[in-house]
């Protein structure tokens, strides 16, 4: 709501909220089901769309920056890394990232950052909740990508469309990701066709 400078540093002020971070919630409930994750995800998508429509990118979406109120309503917090995205990918941006939740374009000051950048990070948050482990660093994925296999292993607990939307949001190549939040949201709601993930490879064992 405001910021101020004191003690040789700067502070951002927000309303007091009662609840816990998503990272804390996932420690209490390590294997949330799809209805619970949708209840968290869908309001976040609406909020993120509003942020993008205002011309900003969050650029640091991760479980610790998603706050779950006591009512169950999610809140996206910590806009310390947020930047104006006017002009889309033409602006040079500082490299601020959280390994596992940051897409490849955030590793370079001249990376092609846009709404698809935040989409990757939020998809990675959903991956964390589905797979029960932090997503692999995107640089590691370029050599050995296990994201799809991990999502396939969860198909007994989640719908194919839900897993497919997460997989699409975590594409390493930003051009292959949904380019806007409404486009990605349509994959979760079924308004856009979501091809199911391929079946496990012969002899593969789901863990």
User: For 112-155, how does the pLDDT look when each residue is reduced to its tens digit (9 = 90+)?
Assistant: 999 999 999 999 999 999 999 999 999 999 999 999 999 999 99
Smallest CA-to-CA distance from 71 within 45, 39, 100 is with 39
Catalytic option among 60, 110, 137, 145: 60
Residue-wise pLDDT for 108-122, tens only, equals 888 899 999 999 999
CA–CA separation, 96 vs 75, rounded Å?
21
Paired tokens of 36: 């619970």
CA–CA separation, 77 vs 47, rounded Å?
11
Assess whether 78 carries a catalytic annotation. Answer: no
**φ/ψ bin of 92: left (φ > 0), alpha (ψ from -120 to 50), beta (otherwise):** beta
pTM, two decimal places: 0.86
Angstrom CA distances, 158 to 127, 133, 206, stand at: 12, 16, 14
Paired tokens of 77: 């917090």
């Amino acid at each position: 709501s405001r910021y101020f400078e004191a003690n040789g540093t700067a502070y951002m002020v927000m309303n007091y909220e009662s609840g816990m971070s998503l990272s804390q919630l996932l420690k209490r409930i390590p294997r949330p089901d799809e209805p619970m994750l949708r209840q968290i995800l869908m309001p976040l998508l609406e909020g993120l769309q509003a942020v993008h429509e205002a011309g900003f990118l969050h650029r640091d979406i991760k479980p610790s920056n998603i706050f779950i109120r006591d009512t169950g309503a999610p809140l996206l917090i910590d806009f310390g890394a947020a930047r104006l995205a006017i002009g889309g990918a033409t602006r040079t941006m500082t490299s601020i990232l959280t390994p596992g939740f940051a897409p490849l374009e955030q590793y370079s000051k001249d990376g092609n950052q846009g709404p698809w950048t935040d989409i990757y990070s939020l998809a990675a948050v959903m991956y964390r909740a589905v797979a029960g482990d932090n997503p692999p660093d995107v640089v590691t994925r370029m050599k050995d990508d296990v994201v799809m296999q991990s999502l396939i292993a969860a198909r007994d607990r989640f719908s194919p469309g839900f897993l497919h939307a997460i997989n699409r949001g975590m594409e390493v190549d930003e051009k292959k990701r949904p380019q806007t939040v409404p486009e990605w949201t349509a994959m979760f709601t079924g308004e856009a066709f979501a091809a199911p993930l391929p079946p496990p490879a012969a002899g593969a064992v789901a863990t």
